[in-house]
Structure 1
Amino acid sequence: MNQMWLLAVLAALSAMAYGYEKGAPELSCDDMKPRHGADEQVVTNPYYIKLSKNQIRPGGKVNVLLTGRDNFKGFFVQGRVGNKAVGHFDVAPGSKLVNCQESVGNAITHINNSYKSSITLTWNAPKGLNEKVIFWFTVVKEGHLYWVADKSDVLTVAEN
């Protein structure tokens, strides 16, 4: 009986250490923490977001490239105005949409934990939005090695 208990504990700890291989849960929407059971990194993030444009019109689209020095296993990305997730993503290969803050598809995450060198995501601005949007992103290199809620350069969504 002790061996069964030990195996159950080890399985639970293993799941915590390696996190969510199928992507970030809705529970991560506000703080963007992956719930991997380890502390986030405080050293400089080796990953970054590069936007295809720095300005779009309301209702327009922008490509969001997540990349860095090393391959990574997981990601979670939102476009935000302040602390509010806005807009929505198109589903990209190897990803799924997450519904945050009572909106549909305003965040995106991985669907498997295989290594990726980069991923290009397409974000759609809401019609009528005239704001500065910043993409918040969490990147997981390994289950215990991740950076939380880093930020992109500003995307201006405006009529002119």
Structure 2
Amino acid sequence: MSSYAHLGLLVLLVIIPASTGYGGGAPNDACVDMSPHHGTVERTSPSKFSLYLTEETTQGGDILKVCVKGGTFEGILLQMRVVGDTVPVGTFNGTRGTIANDTKTMNCTADNDTVTHSKPTIKKDPTCFYWKAPNNKIPQNVHFV
């Protein structure tokens, strides 16, 4: 093997681990800390994205449409949580419609309790999901993270 081939192989071995992302969706260890684990510095500036809901209040079993607005994006990790808790509540992909293109549900603590991307493609603005509240009484202080 020539020295150029050895150099090329060395460059690939160094670059590939440094550029790994999660094109197929967030890893399971992101379920609690909501960190993408990309190996990059966490952004501290305000996000340009907003979440819009069809309703401001909900009761057990209700289905809400939640839309991500603010521009296009590639990756997402979305949960509904009780304020101050790390456990998601409710499920995504309620009976009204299907999950958005190139996204999927994942099971963090229960089936379909989290949404993530399934491909590293550009998602349109807005991208919407359906979230179903638990059938039992839900706590009053819940929010999307």
Shorter-normalised TM range: 0.7 to 0.9
Partner of 2:78: 77
Partner of 2:13: 8
SS in 1 for 2:29: helix
Structure (1 or 2) with the larger CA radius of gyration: 2
Q: TM-score, normalised by structure 2?
A: 0.83
- Distance in 2 between residues matched to 1:115 and 1:96, nearest whole Å: 15
Between 21-30 and 109-118, report the one with greater CA deviation: 109-118
Kindly state the Cα deviation for residue 121 of structure 1 after the two structures are TM-superposed.
0.5
- Distance in 2 between residues matched to 1:118 and 1:39, nearest whole Å: 26
Q: TM-score, normalised by structure 1?
A: 0.76
- Distance in 2 between residues matched to 1:89 and 1:4, nearest whole Å: 43
- Distance in 2 between residues matched to 1:79 and 1:11, nearest whole Å: 34
1:77-105, Cα deviation, whole Å (9 max, x unpaired): 0010132211110051321111113x111
Residue of structure 2 aligned with 1:67, choices 60, 65, 69: 69
Structure 2 residue runs of 5 or longer lacking an equivalent are 1-5
1:122-145, Cα deviation, whole Å (9 max, x unpaired): 001111123132010xxxxxxxxx
Partner of 1:135: 144
Kindly state the Cα deviation for residue 4 of structure 1 after the two structures are TM-superposed.
2.4
Residue 111 of structure 1 pairs with residue 114 of structure 2: no
User: How many residue pairs get matched?
Assistant: 131
Partner of 2:37: 35
Structure 1 residue runs of 5 or longer lacking an equivalent are 137-160
Over the matched positions of the two proteins, sequence identity in percent amounts to 29
Does the 8 A contact of 1:25 with 1:98 survive in 2?
A: no
Relative to its length, the structure with more strand (as a share) is 1
Does the 8 A contact of 2:25 with 2:119 survive in 1?
A: yes
SS in 2 for 1:123: strand
SS in 2 for 1:8: helix
